[in-house]
């Protein structure tokens, strides 16, 4: 369990770094008058952010086998504090007293959640729940296409959060009986883990390009924590240590509340005009009248 907590903390740090790198890359692409995933993918810093996200996601999957879903997702939500602190160091953003207090409360909340989490080995799920997990993939795709037309960045972030939770749920629920290549490739939940992750990364990237990184990130993490808590308790039997239910609820509440405060921080406003000068000529913004 201690190893799982360490893995979660490492993944949280990686997600915080990735969010800043992606936001920088997205804003640079936007400054060049370009839109879309392809344009952002041409920015090396954006690709580094995606890589940081992927590695963090991969690390967090291992923690899901011994930690409850709510604990993993709540600890990962602490990455927003990392984002704010990193923005202050890299971009020179000023942190006020509310932001500093929120960072401290985030750390306190994460410690409480980590201590209160019971050690839950992943267990088999019912067939109906497995079907629901698989049906959620086309549902997210359809909703994502609708929201893309509506130009609503926060709604995209909510879908990204739901997709990340879907990936975590599938990863926690997967049990491979046949460890052969054929057995692994024919396990539907393995593909669900990957499909949800790809959808989440894409939705999050577009949301970062079309909206402010603070509200986008806050909406995504809030969705992840709330959905993970409800589904984990209802469908997976996740539990807290005996006598730690109220502290766990307090820790989750502190983390969510601090997330909202941090989302409003000026350090989250990663506009391209505030970014350090790019070192590569192709990343230089184009002047507009």
Segment 238-256 shows an average pLDDT of: 79
Per-residue pLDDT at 179: 61
pLDDT over threshold 60, residue 287: no
Residues 6+ apart with CB under 8 A from 215: 153, 154, 157, 263
**pLDDT tens, residue by residue, 157-166:** 889 989 988 8
| Interatomic CA distance for residues 84 and 235, integer angstroms | 34
List, in sequence order, every residue forming a beta bridge with 9; answer none if it has no partner. none
Q: What is the pLDDT of residues 156-212, one digit of tens each?
A: 888 998 998 888 888 877 766 656 666 667 777 888 888 998 898 888 878 877 777
> Residue 12 is encoded by which pair of tokens?
């949280």
Residue 121 has pLDDT above 60, yes or no: no
Identify the band that residue 214 occupies on the pLDDT scale cut at 50, 70 and 90.
low
Question: pLDDT > 90: what percent of the chain?
Answer: 6
pLDDT higher at 198 or 285: 198
Query: Mean pLDDT: which of 68-72, 129-133, 134-138, 219-223 is highest?
Result: 134-138
Helix (H, G, I), strand (E, B) or coil at 94: coil
Per-residue confidence (pLDDT) for residue 196, from 0 to 100: 92
Reported as type and span, the H/E element at residue 20 is helix 2-31
pLDDT, tens digit (0-9, with 9 covering 90-100), for 39-60:
666 778 888 888 888 888 888 8
Greater pLDDT, 157 or 271: 157
For residues 9 and 127, what is the distance between their CA atoms, to the nearest angstrom?
A: 32
Q: What is the pLDDT of residue 180?
A: 66
Least confident of 207-216, 245-254, 267-276: 267-276
Q: Say if residue 279's pLDDT is above 50.
A: no
Rounded to whole angstroms, the Cα distance separating 112 from 70 reads: 12
Which of 108, 213, 198, 214 is closest to 144 using CA atoms? 198
- Comparing C-alpha atoms, which of 81, 199, 94 is closest to residue 137? 199
What are 218-243's pLDDT values in tens digits?
A: 778 778 877 877 777 777 767 677 77
pLDDT greater than 90 at residue 138: yes
Q: Strand, helix or coil at 271? A: coil
The H or E element containing residue 106 is helix 97-116
- 84 vs 286: which has the higher pLDDT: 84
What pLDDT does 274 receive? 41
- Is the pLDDT at 267 greater than 70? The verdict is no
Return the pLDDT at 122: 53
With CA atoms as reference, report the closest residue to 113 among 238, 210, 200. 238
Q: Indicate left, alpha or beta for 137 from its phi (over 0: left) and psi (-120 to 50: alpha).
A: alpha
């Amino acid at each position: 369990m201690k190893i799982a907590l360490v893995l979660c903390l490492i993944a949280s740090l990686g997600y915080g770094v990735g969010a800043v790198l992606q936001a920088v890359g997205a804003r640079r692409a936007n400054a060049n008058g370009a839109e879309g995933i392809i344009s952002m993918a041409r920015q090396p810093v954006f690709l580094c952010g995606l890589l940081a996200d992927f590695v963090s996601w991969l690390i967090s999957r291992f923690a899901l086998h011994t930690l409850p879903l709510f604990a993993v997702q709540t600890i990962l939500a602490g990455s927003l504090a990392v984002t704010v602190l990193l923005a202050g160091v890299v971009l020179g953003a000023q942190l006020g007293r509310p932001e500093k207090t929120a960072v401290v409360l985030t750390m306190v909340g994460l410690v409480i959640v980590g201590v209160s989490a019971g050690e839950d080995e992943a267990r088999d799920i019912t067939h109906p729940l497995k079907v629901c997990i698989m049906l959620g993939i086309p549902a997210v795709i359809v909703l994502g296409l609708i929201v893309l037309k509506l130009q609503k960045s926060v709604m995209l972030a909510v879908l990204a959060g739901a997709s990340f939770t879907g990936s975590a749920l599938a990863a926690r629920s997967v049990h491979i009986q046949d460890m052969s290549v054929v057995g692994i490739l024919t396990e539907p939940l393995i593909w669900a883990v990957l499909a949800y992750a790809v959808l989440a990364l894409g939705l999050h990237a577009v949301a970062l390009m079309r909206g402010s990184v603070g509200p986008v990130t806050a909406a995504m993490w809030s969705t992840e924590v709330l959905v993970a808590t409800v589904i984990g308790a209802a469908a997976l039997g996740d539990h807290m240590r005996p006598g730690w239910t109220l502290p766990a609820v307090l820790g989750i509440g502190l983390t969510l509340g601090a997330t909202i405060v941090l989302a409003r921080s000026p350090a989250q406003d990663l506009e391209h005009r505030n970014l350090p000068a790019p070192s590569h000529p192709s990343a230089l913004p184009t002047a507009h009248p």
